[in-house]
Structure 1
Amino acid sequence: MTQLDAHARTGGFARINPVAKLAASGLIALPLILTLDVVSAAVALVLELILFPFAGVGWREFWVRTWPVWLAAPLTALTIALYGEASGQVHFEWLFVRVSDGSLALAAATLLRVLAIALPSVVLFITVDPTDLADGLAQIVRLPARFVLGALAGLRMVGLFLDDWRALELARRARGVADRGRIRRFAGMAFALLVLSIRRGSKLATAMEARGFGAPISRTWARASTFGRREWLLVAIGAAISLTAVTAAVLTGSWNVILGSS
């Protein structure tokens, strides 16, 4: 772990309850899902970029974690520009491709929309520990403990899944069966990993049942999950960003509800 990673996970922002981060990202995303316009997405994105430096995440880690978003957003916008609903003046047309004023406007709105929804979600969850999130979902949101703990156990297995894949690859190379036939090799390794995962999952389920994780009674928790002033402040910031974006879009007449539209 680099020094920047360690700072992001030990700073004040990292100690905010993950449930608050989940709620804040949901509040920001909700109005942007309901509408497709440039103004609301642009306002939300600008406010988010102003607040990102206060998240305790270094710029290097920010770009490393968010580069898929910066790559996917323009590609999505390009698709909309080429194949979106045509309206207004048509600038270019060839077979199924039709670039018009309407498709370009939709592409710009889509670009900003994807960035405004995805970037805060990535930034907020960089510092989330899966165990803290499970504690919050079970103790604050009151989700079923059996479901939460099962999901947490499965998430913890992702690292072992990757280690098993690398171990299988090295073992096959040591035996001289991984030099050619990439598709066949991938299928064989995938099947072997599936069998290994099923066996490990069965053992884990049995061990968890034996330790009382599936008991119907109310369980206790080793760490209390609290929701205090910092958490409410973060939720309020998310609500403020959402309200400001909606207000700007309504006042400028660009609010365009797409939910339920044909």
Structure 2
Amino acid sequence: MSILTPHRGTQAVYAINPVAKIGAAFVLSLTLILSIDWVSAAVALVLEGILFLWAGLTPKVFFWRTLPVWIAAPAAALTTILYGRPSGETYFQFSLIHITDGSIELGIATMLRVLAIGLPAVVLFVTVDPTDLADGLAQVLHLPNRFVLGGLAGLRLMGLFLDDWRSLKLARRARGVGDSGRIRRFASLGFALLVLSIRRGSKLATAMEARGFGSRIKRTYARESTFGWREVLLMVIAAAVAVTAVSVSVSTGHWNFIGSTG
């Protein structure tokens, strides 16, 4: 089993409707982007870290799945520290680089905020099955069938991209093409993959249309998508984390609404 594959077990998080997972991630993200302060982000991150224990992911899978977030957060912090809004005591200044108390605090807040928003979003979506997501979008949110089925087909095809990439590399190597020039080889493989994806997408669209997937007749579903107490509990937990983070930030005087001029 790949280290990138979550070990699906008996954890209740896998049985939760994907619509609730999207809603929980939206609640957390919306709350955390309302303020630029490190307190609310730190509180939310600590509470989320406790909840990650019930996410059903092994430490190795959790690390590799969230690796882009761990890379993006320090990078965003460093950029903000170097080029953020200067305020307070100046520690270093050269050309556009201006490191001050304000830019350092803003950089720390940015890093914590990226982690607090990105980690739960990745963890929640890792436990989402594309078919369950499509069922939830169609039966719970009542989105158009053409949009839902098209999105489901696209998600299913994404898993083939890596296999196609490997096959193209092996085929080109067997023909003695692209053995030198890493940038040229990458661009050539990317273009070939794009052409292959367009052709496959066109064939899939034609096949789906021929099988009546584009019909406006009301569809039936093999599996019922429900929104019950588990989903409500997840939404309540997300709201509780958001309210706690905001409350602590406001009570300590660190709340800094993004629309304020302070």
Structure 1 residues 183 and 81: CA distance shift in structure 2, 3 A = closer
What is aligned with 1:193?
193
Whether 1:96 aligns to 2:96 is yes
Percent of paired sites with the same residue? 63
User: 1:155–1:117: structure 2 CA closer, same or farther, 3 Å change rule?
Assistant: same
Q: 1:261 to 1:19 in 2, by over 3 A?
A: farther
Match of residue 59 from structure 1: 59
Q: Do 2:65 and 2:122's aligned partners in 1 also have CA atoms closer than 8 Å?
A: yes
Letter aligned with residue 81 of structure 1? I
Structure 1: distance between partners of 2:55 and 2:185 = 43
2:202 maps to amino acid: S
Structure 2 match to 1:16: 16
1:40-189 equivalences in 2 (<5 Å): 40-189=40-189
Aligned to 1:249: 249
Quickly say closer, same or farther: Cα 1:215–1:241, change in 2 above 3 A: same
CA deviation after TM superposition for structure 1 residue 4, in Å: 9.9
Residues 162 and 67 of structure 1: CA distance in aligned 2, closer, same or farther (over 3 Å): closer
Q: In terms of mean alpha carbon deviation, does 241-250 or 6-15 score higher?
A: 6-15
C-alpha distance 34-3 of structure 1, shift in aligned 2 (>3 A): closer
Q: Which secondary structure does the structure 2 equivalent of 1:34 belong to?
A: coil
Equivalent pair of 1:4/1:58 in contact (CA under 8 Å): no
Alpha-carbon displacement from aligned partner over 1:23-62 (angstroms, at most 9, x marks no partner)? 1111111111111011111111111111111222222221
Q: Does the C-alpha gap of structure 1 residues 17 and 111 become closer, same or farther in structure 2, counting only changes over 3 Å?
A: same
Extract unaligned runs of 5+ from structure 1. none
Q: Which amino acid aligns with 2:165?
A: W
Higher-helix-fraction structure: 1
Mean alpha-carbon deviation: is it higher for 193-202 or for 68-77? 193-202
Kindly state the Cα deviation for residue 178 of structure 1 after the two structures are TM-superposed: 2.2
| CA–CA distance in structure 2, aligned partners of residues 3 and 257 of structure 1 | 40
Q: Distance in 2 between matches of 1:63 and 1:190?
A: 27
Flag structure 2 segments of 5+ consecutive residues without an equivalent.
Answer: none
Within 5 Å, give how 1:210-225 maps onto structure 2. 210-225=210-225
Question: Is contact 2:41-2:245 (8 Å) kept?
Answer: yes
Deviates more, 1:185-194 or 1:143-152: 185-194
CA distance in 2, matches of 1:168, 1:4: 22
- After superposition, the CA RMSD in angstroms is 2.0
Would you say the 8 A contact 1:8–1:58 is kept in 2?
Answer: no
Deviates more, 1:233-242 or 1:211-220: 211-220
Aligned residues, how many?
262
Check whether the contact 1:20–1:232 (CA below 8 A) recurs between aligned residues.
Answer: yes
Structure 1 length normalisation: TM-score? 0.93
* CA distance, structure 1, for counterparts of residue 70 and residue 203 of structure 2: 41
The residue identity in structure 2 corresponding to 1:201 is G
| Stretch moving more, 95-104 or 252-261 | 252-261
**CA-CA distance at 1:86 after TM superposition:** 0.3
Deviations 1:90-117 (A, max 9, x none): 1111111111011011011111111110
